Amino acid sequence: MKLLQVNDLRKYFPIQKGIFQRTIGYVKAVDGISFDVQRGETLGLVGESGCGKTTAGRCLLRLIPPTSGSFIFGEEAVDLAKLTHNEMRPYRRRIQMIFQDPHASLNPRMTVGDIVGEPMRVNRTEKGTALQDRIVELLESVGLRSQDTRRYPHAFSGGQRQRIGIARALALQPELIVADEPVSALDVSVQAQILNLLAELREKFQLSYIFIAHDLSVVEHISDRVAVMYLGKIVEISDAETLYQSPKHPYTEALISAVPLPDPSAQRKREHIRLEGDVPDPSQPPTGCYFHPRCRYATDICKQETPELRQVASGVQVACHHSDTLALQGV
């Protein structure tokens, strides 16, 4: 069952100059992306910095207004992008966010109990002892203890703080959680604990996740399907296993090849595809396929025509002119 359908989402940030703040151009942070999220599913959104993955996530929650596009949400099929601020309110409960930096996303002057209870107080869903009980229940479900309610965030380690952030996101019983790099600030041994917790909570509360991250191994581990973004566009969507075993887009192939495997002999045997140069400036993207200047398979058509995201197999969508003829290597 479809929980969310995103159609042609765009977010352009104007570049303004001079004393009259004349708009001289746009940074196309998100440039027409479409995808869907099924109920109970984890969709991974992966890409390098500046590819628009975080902007896309923030647009979904209407934390920043999208330039255009529609988000059809829930059974009632409401278009969240068209709602006014007030109409949006009941839907905010149903979509929550987990942030990257567990140090910056918790108010240092509030106790853990206040932080986790705040969404329920603001939305008036619980009060009094029921609220206190609910806070304890939430803390226990993320692996913290009831006596932690009175402590302040500084008394917790990075992993525990991320648990507090997760408890806060769960407070209003959301259906969809947008997790923006939830484990990238954590140490390896703690990262595994948080990934396990997120998987466990998904089962327990029938959650759906949009999991935004730059680390491909983490995304592969937690996601059912993965969307790869490059310069504001989705270049490939596929189920996680297919994507890593037989990527269909040259950028996906290069990304996979760039991840160093923690296996020395496999690493020595692998062919290393090294992309030249940097990600282009999103205010002046290249013509045609945005990836063509760094692509080793690029031909003339890639310089002229922008490839559309199209279905090439069941559940696999790719935006590449040559996806049918290329035999790309996975892991």
Least spacing, CB of residue 147 vs another protein, in Å: 17
Kindly tell me which of 95 and 185 has the beta carbon lying closer to another protein: 185
Residue 42 makes CB contacts below 8 A (sequence gap 6+) with 202, 208, 209, 210, 211, 222, 223, 224, 225
Residue with smaller CB distance to another protein, 122 or 259: 259
Quote the least distance from Cβ 148 to another protein, whole Å.
Answer: 14
**Which residues on neighbouring strands pair with residue 318, listed in sequence order?**
236, 310
Q: Give the contacts of 223 (CB within 8 A, at least 6 positions apart).
A: 42, 43, 44, 211, 240
Cβ–Cβ < 8 Å for 230, 33: no
Nearer to another protein, 157 or 311 (CB): 157
Query: Which residue, 161 or 168, is less far from another protein as judged by CB?
Result: 161
For residue 124, the minimal CB distance to another protein (Å) is 36
SS3 178: strand
H/E stretch holding 243: helix 240-245
Structure tokens at 246: 């037989």
The conformation of residue 329, written as its DSSP 8-state character, comes to: -
Q: Nearer Cβ to another protein, position 91 or 244?
A: 244
Annotate 47-74 with DSSP letters as a single string.
Answer: --TTSSHHHHHHHHTTSS--SEEEEEET
For the bound state, the minimum distance from the C-beta of residue 294 to another protein, rounded and expressed in Å, comes to 8
Least distance in angstroms from the C-beta of 159 to another protein: 6
Cα–Cα distance, 260 to 220 (Å, whole number): 15
Nearer residue to another protein within complex by CB, 86 or 284: 284
Indicate the SS3 state at residue 130: helix
Helices (H), 126-245: 128-141, 158-170, 188-205, 216-222, 240-245
Nearest distance from C-beta of residue 255 to another protein, angstroms: 6
Closest residue by Cα to residue 237 from 180, 326, 315, 329: 315
What residues make contact with another protein under the rule CB under 8 A? 48-49, 157, 159-160, 187-193, 195-196, 199-200, 214, 216-218, 220-221, 240, 244-245, 254-265, 267, 272, 274-275, 278-279, 330-331
CA atoms within 13 A on the CB side of 153: 21
In sequence order, which ranges of 247-296 are alpha helices (DSSP H)? 250-258, 264-269
Minimum Å distance from CB 54 to another protein? 14
**Cα angle 66, 67, 71; round to 5:** 50
Single-letter code of the amino acid located at 44: G
Judged by CB, which is closer to another protein: 48, or 101? 48
Q: Which is nearer to another protein, 93 or 270 (CB)?
A: 270
Q: How far is the CB of 252 from another protein (least distance, A)?
A: 11
